[in-house]
């Protein structure tokens, strides 16, 4: 091997070394999202995305909703607003012929976001209408409009008790042949409380 050949090889080696040193570094592999445990007793506020008429509702009926407030844990959003929520009716009661009132109890079955669905277990949220005798004919309400009064949920209990106030600009007439049945319009807010821990990936 001549000196000229050795010199050329050294130049080529120096160029290769320099090119390697200035090469673009490879990107680090994406890290898998860290799972987070959302503890029991965490409240999840949702709003209905469909109407619910208790007069035609039944136990087992599926009701769709959206998470209305982000669920935070240690300053971090673990369940985002607008996450999908699937509710299910567990108890439905229509008012009796002479007395009683409509009511419906719901639970949350799952919440979904980020392409994943998570099964959850919650306390029941119970909604009750105003009980009126079937034989009473009188004017009720009076400019109140339709509104839901949402009560707090007691931990370890059977869920929230929500009284629905029904009225109109001129009041609602409860006719002698029957009373106004309980209806939950879309956008009604409900609150559920987790009864067990659920693991999610924010």
pLDDT score of 78 more than 80: yes
- Within-domain flag for 52: yes
| 165 secondary structure, DSSP code | E
Number of domains the chain is built from: 1
DSSP codes, 63-114: EEEEE-S-EEETTEEEE-TT-EEEEEEEEEE---SSS---EEEEEEEEEEET
Give tens-digit pLDDT for 17-48: 665 545 555 666 666 678 999 999 999 999 99
pTM of the full predicted structure?
A: 0.63
- Within-domain flag for 5: no
For the domain that residue 156 is a member of, what is the CATH number? 2.40.128
Q: 164, 150 in Cβ contact below 8 A? A: no
In terms of phi and psi (left: phi > 0; alpha: psi -120 to 50; beta: otherwise), the region of 6 is alpha
| Beta-ladder partners of 194 | 122
- Within-domain flag for 193: yes
- Within-domain flag for 27: no
- Within-domain flag for 11: no
- Within-domain flag for 178: yes
Range of the structural domain that residue 184 is part of: 35-200
- Within-domain flag for 136: yes
- Within-domain flag for 23: no
Give tens-digit pLDDT for 134-186: 433 233 333 333 333 333 333 344 444 544 433 333 333 333 344 568 999 99
């Amino acid at each position: 091997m001549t000196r000229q050949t050795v010199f050329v090889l050294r130049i080529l080696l120096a160029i290769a070394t320099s090119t390697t040193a200035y090469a673009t570094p490879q990107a680090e592999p994406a890290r898998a999202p860290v799972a987070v445990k959302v503890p029991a007793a965490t409240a999840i506020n949702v709003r209905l995305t469909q109407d619910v008429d208790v007069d035609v509702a039944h136990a087992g009926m599926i009701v769709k909703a959206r998470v209305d407030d982000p669920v935070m844990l240690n300053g971090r959003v673990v369940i985002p607003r607008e996450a999908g929520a699937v509710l299910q009716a567990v108890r439905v009661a229509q008012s009796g012929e002479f007395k009683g009132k409509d009511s419906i109890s719901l639970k949350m079955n799952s919440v979904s976001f980020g392409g994943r669905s998570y099964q959850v277990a919650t306390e029941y949220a119970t909604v009750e209408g105003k009980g009126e005798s079937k034989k009473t004919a009188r004017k009720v309400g009076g400019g109140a409009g339709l509104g839901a009064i949402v009560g707090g949920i007691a931990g370890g209990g059977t869920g929230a008790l929500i009284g629905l106030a029904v009225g109109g600009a001129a009041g609602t007439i409860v006719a002698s042949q029957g009373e106004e049945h309980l209806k939950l319009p879309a956008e009604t807010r409900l609150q559920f409380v987790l009864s067990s821990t659920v693991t999610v990936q924010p």
